[in-house]
Amino acid sequence: MGTGTGRYRLVIFGIVILVAVFSLATVVLAAAGPAGDTPGRYIVIFDDEDAKQGTKQFIKQKGGKVLADFRIVSGMTVEIGADKVSGLKKLKGVREVGPDVKVYALDTELERSWGVKRIGAGTVHGYNTGSGTSVAVVDTGIDYTHPDLDANYAGGYDFVNNDFDPIDDNGHGTHVAGIIAAEDNDSGVVGVAPGASVYALKVLDSSGSGYLSNIIAALDWVFIENQNNPGRWVVNMSLGSSSGSDALHAAIIKAYDAGIILVAAAGNSGRPNGKGDSIEYPARYPEVIAVGATDSLDVRARWSSTGDLLELSAPGVGILSTVPGGYASYSGTSMASPHVAGTAALVLSGESLTDLDGDGSVNNEDLRFLLRQTAEDLGAAGKDNLYGYGLVDADEAALPVLAAGTISGTVTDSSTGIGIAGAVITDGTRSVNTDESGNYVINDVPPGEYTVIVSAPGYQSASKTVTVQEALTSTADFILNESVISQATVDSIKYATIGGKNSAAHLLVTVSVVDGSGNPAAGAYVSITLCLDGSVYSTNTGTTGSGGTVSFKVPNAPPGTYTTTVTGVTAEGLTWDGVTPENSFVKN
């Protein structure tokens, strides 16, 4: 999996979670844990909290001890003789007993840095540095004395030594933390979110090894802290395993349901040709953003894991960042993941996050949707197995929300000069009607360029390009000529799915326009608003062909119920009747 020349092959016990100290590397699985009465570490999961007390008494009677008691899931870590495990499994309320697996960290590679600039994070720092957000680095700890990290370090815990001093005695965690939040202090390097607070949750020791239970305990720690500062937490896990764990997944689900953003390295087990599904755990869990690595030419690193569950890509080859005592360049999806975690911190700190999925709240689902929608598409068009939705784009995802502007004007009759009442004005998203004097105002228009279309019964439609500036009013007056030809009608709106992958198939919306005699209306300029589950999903414009139809393609449309509203039909010699036929489509 790694890209260095000095890779190791590890023989370990049970399920493995592999952490790339400098890039994720290959492991070999061997047979399971201690035999006879040899004490071993085990993770116990319960059906409910009531079963814990009886289990603790059993463990004490059998000469064992409780090492950790989880809150994020009903469970704990215990040390007990292997010959007592069968009895432990039989206790009332015990759902699962499994080995507390060792985790490892591996090799290194030095090159040049370029990642933060490539994703556009530097252009965001003038108005957003990620302040007010918290990023947990689940790793080997952090060198909190480093001059590029000391101001942003906010605390944490050492789950290896069970104390409050999570100093990094390995280097990997400090490198990851620097990518996320190295200070903008005119020296060294700068992170994606240099104003974010970073927390060191040390789960690996100086040799880069630790236990699965430490990772669960780290998620448990974040879960409790999130209750004090909800909706502002990001967790970066630059680690991976080819095998999953029910206990770990249960903790991840609990953290995700609490609104915590979870980001993880996809893994370095990909084939050079990109074939196969090699996404590792925990990135493989649907609650986690799986991140692959690209080089400075935006090409997937040959070792970066691939598969349908890959969500985003980020720089991961030759990334310069902080290490204890200085700086170094490492490669791996371990380096790509913190680029996305830092971008998530920028989004949480800024104003760009809104209720994108229309569920009435702003949460981690909306943030993931925003990162996908703003990603720079790489490889095949749309989402693919090599790059996911594309390269994370910090300056697009964390754009500031500008004050809205206004479009206003008057619509008059060309022959009389009198204002036309009831004319329909649309900017492609918002629609209003003129008053009795022919005046109109479209409020709350975001800054940008719009095609404003006006239509009125008995008149030929007209359009103008209008530029709206922040907090200003733009004027667009219209003089309409009477229509002497038949009326235009939207005859039908049809839906179809094409291409894409599974639920992310493309959606095709076809609008048919006819004239008053029922003949196809060719050359009609059609504007539509597409809604998903009652909320605006996109706006589109197009021109009908010789058959009177125009099709709008929605790439990788998510599942849900779609409806289309025609907001304008403009055609020479035709007047649209303003009616949209009833329509809807359920995409699974």
- Residue 583 has a CB neighbour count (10 Å cut-off) of 17
Phi and psi (nearest 5°) for 432? -140, 170
Amino acid (one-letter) located at 557: A
In what order do the strands lie in the sheet containing 261-265?
153-158, 197-202, 134-139, 233-237, 261-265, 289-294, 312-315
Distance set, CA 488 to CA 325, 345, 415, 426, 564 (Å): 73, 50, 23, 17, 18
- Output the 3-class SS for 432-490: EECCCCCEEEEEEECCEEEEEEEECCCECCEEEEEEECCCCEEECCEEECECCCCEEEE
Closest CA to 109 of 28, 24, 168: 24
Is 139 an active-site residue?
A: yes
Extended beta strands in 59-174, E state: 65-69, 75-81, 94-99, 102-105, 134-139, 153-158
Closest CA to 136 of 159, 118, 103: 159
The SS3 of residue 83 is helix
479: left (phi over 0), alpha (psi -120 to 50) or beta: beta
Is 339 an active-site residue?
A: no
Give the active site residue among 74, 213, 241, 334.
Answer: 334
Give the active site residue among 146, 172, 175, 249.
Answer: 172
Give the active site residue among 107, 125, 134, 139.
Answer: 139
91: left (phi over 0), alpha (psi -120 to 50) or beta: beta
C-alpha triplet 226, 227, 229: angle, nearest 5°: 60
Question: Which residues are the active-site residues?
Answer: 139, 172, 334
